[in-house]
Amino acid sequence: MRGIQLSLNQTQKPRLERALERLESLSSKSNPNASVTVADTIPVNYEDGVLKGHGTSELDGQVVATLCGVVERVNKLVYVRALRARYKPEVGDIIVGRVMEVAPKRWRLEINFSQDAVLMLSSMNLPDGVQRRRTAVDELNMRTIFEENDVICAEVRGFQHDGSLHLQARSQKYGKLERGQLLTISPYLVKRRKQHFHHLEQYGIDLVLGCNGFIWVGEHVEAKDDMVEDQANKSEQQNSKSTSSPNLEEQEQTYTPLEIRQNICRTANAVRVLSNLGFNITVEAIMETVNLSSTLNLDIHEMLGAEFCVLTAEREAERRSMLTKRKG
């Protein structure tokens, strides 16, 4: 059952098994030639010419699969994409990482990859927002931007000649992530899409689906223009230095309302439930799971119980069955 470890009772276990079997049968009916296991024959058209790619081999004049996965075809190229593969960075991937080390002119990040990634000081916007050459002063002030254990969002720039993976954060949407939760799931559950940043307005939270399997759920933060913000802060400090209370202002800036904190926890638990069931993590699936828990009037901690996982699997099986009937 996809490695699910839940304390299921005698009625919940067969219900979950039936739901998962139904999901597997629906996926096989939609594309019977998509999923293959080791030694399965892959149907190809030899007249047009075939290029055997990763996960394929030739045996007795036929193309067979050498690993379990999904058959992908790009023109004449046929290859097998493993379902549960480790994260393989591609240029342009949106990732979420944790700062492990502040090194000279660079930060080293843990991104759920076989090696740490590198974010150069020259590959990100400075706090003042001015495009200029980085100086020794900027290097000395690196800890004021990011320090150890900070969670940040960035984009994969590519591999350098030394084999290291380099990142970039040259947009306002990238940078430090605060006041939220960092979740770690299997990277294969997050598919590459056009949009990985999501603002859930009704809950007042931001959702970042990192391609590397790091998911961020946190309080919504408006993207601001650093230059305008700095000028406004300077003018406010000059006009009212003595009248303002810095301690109260700092508390207001760092305080997260209870309702938003509950929404963060509920959304994070929805991600955990979908991950335990082996479902793809999409914003639509997360929203449906959150709405299901709200409809059932479940407390946040009850979402991690066995009954809600079974209900989520049954709901997903019913939804896919309805989609199949509409297409038919």
Domain with CATH 2.40.50.140 in the chain: 85-177
Number of neighbours of residue 262 by Cβ within 10 angstroms: 13
Q: How is residue 312 written in tokens?
A: 């989520």
The rounded distance, in Å, linking the Cα atoms of 280 and 276 is: 11
Q: Is 56 helix (H, G, I), strand (E, B) or coil?
A: strand
* Burial of residue 253 (number of CB atoms within 10 Å: 0-12, 13-18, 19+): exposed
pLDDT band at 182 (very low <50, low <70, confident <90, very high): very high
Q: What is the pLDDT of residues 189-235, one digit of tens each?
A: 898 888 999 999 999 999 999 999 999 999 988 765 443 344 444 44
pLDDT band at 2 (very low <50, low <70, confident <90, very high): very low
- Whether domain 85-177 has CATH 2.40.50.140: yes
Whole-structure pTM value: 0.79
Residue 233's pLDDT is 45
CA atoms within 13 A on the CB side of 105: 7
* Burial of residue 40 (number of CB atoms within 10 Å: 0-12, 13-18, 19+): middle
Domain with CATH 2.40.50.100 in the chain: 34-83
Fold of 34-83: OB fold (Dihydrolipoamide Acetyltransferase, E2P) (2.40.50)
- Angle (deg, nearest 10), helices 12-30 and 306-327: 30
Number of neighbours of residue 62 by Cβ within 10 angstroms: 12
